[in-house]
């Protein structure tokens, strides 16, 4: 019996159940290659493409079958990981909790209520990334995307002075973009490549990632579009991290999840798309006086756990 020759899968449209319209939707959401389809969770793909989960599963499977796999030995990966940079948070305990500091080539997300210290940690990292390796830095500069208007140079000066650094130099090495719309936030990341090269940027801060998305896309009807744009935006951030070996630090707001009846209902916003994209997630909450409890909620290689840090005039400490 003659077997019908299977059509080679080369483009999104060649996947089962994906027509031209669906393919365009996916491309608009940043999923523009078979590799990306292959690595997207079927539920997310279904949301983004507006198809049902069964169809999405088939498409993901077909994309996986069609993509060639590059093999790499575990030891080669270990070699690569050993040259990854780590930025000290200022607290030894917190560094240990996350495996040695905030890592490059990855997205670190911190969520928590107001005044929990998310921005303060962003400031501390903006100072510390500039330190030499021996002092917990990686000798690089900062792109700080401020969406809430809370960047405070005075606070950087205070932290830099406490670390016996020249505050003017430290401030000059932090490029601040005040984003007031999601368009500006997105464009800043889309066009960051040349700036990153030119200024030796090793840390990109987005404080906060979601506030503009949250205020611009209101109501159930806008949620799909919001998540699509957000998905593209975080993939671009991850791509910057990979291509330039830099660290991405994002802060995130929280809401009370009514579905959680017992325990702490505090949940980060941004949904699954953000949950999957952040490499390491930390939950910050207020404790007595200047103390804050940091909980590691998601990490690819460290056990979940907690530690206590302090926000002092000199910066983040144990
Ligand atoms: N100079 C300082 N010395 C000591 N503590 C400070 C100093 N500046 C700020 N703080 C502490 O940091 C807190 C503010 O933290 P931060 O601005 O990082 O919160 P956040 O999590 O970013 O909140 P939001 O969600 O409102 O942006 C203050 O309430 C205070 O406790
Ligand atoms: Mg803040």
pLDDT for 6 equals 55
Contacts of residue 97, Cβ cutoff 8 Å, sequence gap at least 6:
294, 296, 302, 305, 306, 307
Nearest ligand for residue 315 CA: 1
CB 72 within 8 A of CB 299: no
Residues in contact with ligand 1 by the CB-under-6-Å rule are 112, 114-120, 148, 150, 155, 158, 311-313
What pLDDT score was predicted for residue 7?
Answer: 64
pTM reported for the whole predicted model: 0.84
| DSSP secondary structure letter of residue 65 | H
Pairing of strands 305-312, 291-298: antiparallel
Total length of the chain: 318
User: Could you tell me the distance, in angstroms and rounded to a whole number, from the CA of residue 311 to the centre of ligand 1?
Assistant: 8
Task: Specify the pLDDT at position 29.
Answer: 87
What is the 147 CA–ligand 1 centroid distance (Å)? 16
H helices present in the chain, as ranges:
20-28, 34-38, 42-49, 53-66, 74-82, 92-97, 118-128, 153-162, 167-172, 182-190, 192-198, 211-216, 220-244, 271-277
pLDDT at 46: 92
The first and second tokens of residue 13, run together, are 């449209």
Task: Name all contacts of 7-15 with Cβ < 8 Å and 24+ positions apart.
Answer: 8/66, 9/34, 9/62, 9/63, 9/65, 9/66, 10/34, 10/66, 12/37, 14/66, 15/58, 15/59, 15/62, 15/63, 15/66
Nearest listed ligand to the Cα of residue 311: 1
How high is the pLDDT of residue 136? 96
User: Would you state the pLDDT for residue 309?
Assistant: 98
Q: Which residue bears the tokens 């744009």?
A: 229
pLDDT of residue 316: 98
For residue 1, what pLDDT is reported? Answer: 43
Print the SS3 string covering 216-282. Answer: HCCCHHHHHHHHHHHHHHHHHHHHHHHHHCCEEEEEECEEECCCCCCCCCEEECCHHHHHHHCCEEE
- pLDDT tens, N- to C-terminus, the chain (318 residues): 444 445 689 999 999 999 999 999 999 988 999 998 998 889 989 988 999 999 999 999 999 999 887 788 888 888 877 778 999 999 999 999 999 999 999 999 999 999 999 999 999 999 999 999 999 999 999 999 999 999 999 999 999 999 999 999 999 999 999 999 999 999 999 999 999 999 999 999 999 999 999 999 998 899 999 999 999 999 999 999 999 999 999 999 999 988 888 889 999 999 989 999 999 999 999 999 999 999 999 998 899 999 999 999 999 999
Place of tokens 């999104």: 12
Burial of 137 (0-12, 13-18, 19+ CB in 10 A): buried
Q: Please name the residue whose Cα sits nearest to atom 7 of ligand 1.
A: 313
d(CA 136, CA 82): 15
Ligand 1 midpoint to CA 112 (Å): 12
Residue nearest to atom 27 of ligand 1 (CA): 114
110 CA closest ligand 1 atom index: 21
**Distance separating alpha carbons of residues 131 and 158, to the nearest angstrom:** 16
Q: Which residue, by CA, sits nearest to atom 31 of ligand 1?
A: 290
* For ligand 1, atom 11: residue with the closest CA: 311
Compute the distance from residue 114 Cα to the ligand 1 centre, in Å. 8
Ligand 1: centre distance to CA 118 (Å):
8
pLDDT at 151: 98
């Amino acid at each position: 019996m003659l077997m019908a020759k299977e059509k080679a899968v080369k483009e999104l449209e060649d996947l089962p159940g994906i027509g031209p319209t669906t393919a365009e939707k996916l491309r608009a959401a940043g999923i523009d290659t078979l590799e990306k389809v292959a690595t997207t969770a079927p539920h997310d793909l279904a949301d983004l493409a507006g198809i049902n989960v069964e169809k999405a599963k088939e498409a993901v499977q077909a994309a996986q079958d069609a993509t060639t796999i590059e093999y790499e030995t575990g030891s080669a990966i270990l070699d690569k990981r050993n040259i990854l940079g780590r930025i000290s948070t200022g607290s030894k305990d917190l560094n240990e909790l996350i495996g040695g500091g905030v890592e490059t080539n990855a997205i670190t997300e911190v969520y928590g209520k107001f005044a929990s210290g998310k921005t303060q940690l962003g400031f501390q990292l903006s100072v510390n990334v500039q330190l030499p390796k021996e002092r917990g830095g990686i000798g690089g500069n900062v792109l700080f995307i401020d969406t809430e208007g809370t960047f405070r140079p005075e606070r950087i000066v205070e932290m830099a002075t406490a670390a016996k650094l020249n505050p003017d130099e430290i401030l000059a090495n932090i490029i601040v973009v005040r984003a007031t719309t999601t368009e500006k936030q997105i464009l800043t990341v889309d066009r960051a490549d040349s700036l990153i090269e030119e200024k030796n940027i090793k840390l990109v801060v987005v404080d906060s990632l979601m506030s503009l998305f949250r205020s611009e896309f209101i109501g159930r009807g806008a949620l799909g579009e919001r998540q699509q744009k957000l998905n593209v935006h975080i993939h671009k951030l991850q791509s910057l991290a990979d291509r330039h070996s830099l660290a991405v630090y994002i802060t995130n707001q929280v809401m009370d999840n009514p579905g959680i009846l017992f325990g702490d209902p505090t949940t980060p916003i941004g949904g699954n798309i953000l949950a999957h994209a952040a490499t390491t997630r930390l939950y910050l909450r207020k404790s007595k006086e200047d103390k804050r409890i940091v909980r590691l909620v998601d990490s690819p290689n460290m056990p979940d756990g907690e530690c206590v840090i302090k926000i002092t005039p000199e910066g983040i400490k144990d």
